[in-house]
Amino acid sequence: MTEHPVPAPVVPPLVRPRRLRTTPALRRMVAEQQVQARQLVLPVFIREGLTEPKPVSSMPGVVQHTRDSLLAAVSEAAELGLGGVMLFGVPETKDATGSGALDPSGVLNLAITDVVAEVGDALTVMSDLCLDEFTDHGHCGVLTADGRVDNDQTLAAYADMARAQAHAGVDMVGPSGMMDGQVRVIRDALDAFEHTDVGILAYSAKYASAFFGPFREAVDSSLVGDRRTYQQDPANAREGVREALLDVAEGADMVMVKPALPYLDVVRRVREAVEVPVAAYNVSGEYAQLEAAAERGWIDREAAILETLTSIHRAGADVILTYWASEAARLLAL
Looking up residue 305, the CATH number of its domain turns out to be: 3.20.20.70
- How confident is the model at residue 144, as a pLDDT? 92
Instruction: Report the alpha-carbon distance of residue 138 to residue 216 in Å, rounded.
Output: 10
85: helix, strand or coil = strand
Helix, strand, coil distribution of the chain in percent, nearest 5 = 45, 15, 40
Q: Which of 187, 192, 205, 199 is nearest to 249 (CA)?
A: 187
- How confident is the model at residue 3, as a pLDDT? 64
Residues β-bridged to residue 203 = 256
- How confident is the model at residue 152, as a pLDDT? 94
pTM over 0.85: yes
Provide the pLDDT confidence category of residue 317 given band limits of 50, 70 and 90.
very high
261-291 pLDDT, tens per residue? Answer: 999 999 999 999 999 999 999 999 999 999 9
Q: Backbone phi, then psi, for 201, in 5-degree steps?
A: -100, 100
Catalytic residue among 258, 269, 271, 313: 258
Give residue 116's domain range: 34-332
118-132 pLDDT, tens per residue? Answer: 999 999 999 999 999
- Compute, in degrees rounded to 10, the torsion defined by CA atoms 130, 197, 189, 90: 20
Give yes or no for residue 17 having a pLDDT over 90: no
Is residue 27 domain-resident? no
Residues β-bridged to residue 61 = none
Catalytic residue among 47, 163, 187, 206: 206
- How confident is the model at residue 16, as a pLDDT? 79
Provide the pLDDT confidence category of residue 1 given band limits of 50, 70 and 90.
low
How high is the mean pLDDT of the chain?
Answer: 93
How many separate domains does the chain show?
1
Is residue 29 domain-resident? no
- How confident is the model at residue 218, as a pLDDT? 87
The percent of residues in the chain predicted with pLDDT above 70, rounded, is: 96
Provide the pLDDT confidence category of residue 253 given band limits of 50, 70 and 90.
very high
**94 part of the active site:** no
Is residue 9 domain-resident? no
Among 10-19, 178-187, 217-226, 258-267, where is mean pLDDT lowest? 10-19
Is residue 20 domain-resident? no
Provide the pLDDT confidence category of residue 176 given band limits of 50, 70 and 90.
very high
Is residue 67 domain-resident? yes
Is residue 81 domain-resident? yes
117 vs 228, more confident: 117
**206 part of the active site:** yes
Instruction: Report the alpha-carbon distance of residue 161 to residue 189 in Å, rounded.
Output: 10
Is residue 14 domain-resident? no
Is residue 141 domain-resident? yes
What number is the average pLDDT over the span 59-77?
A: 97
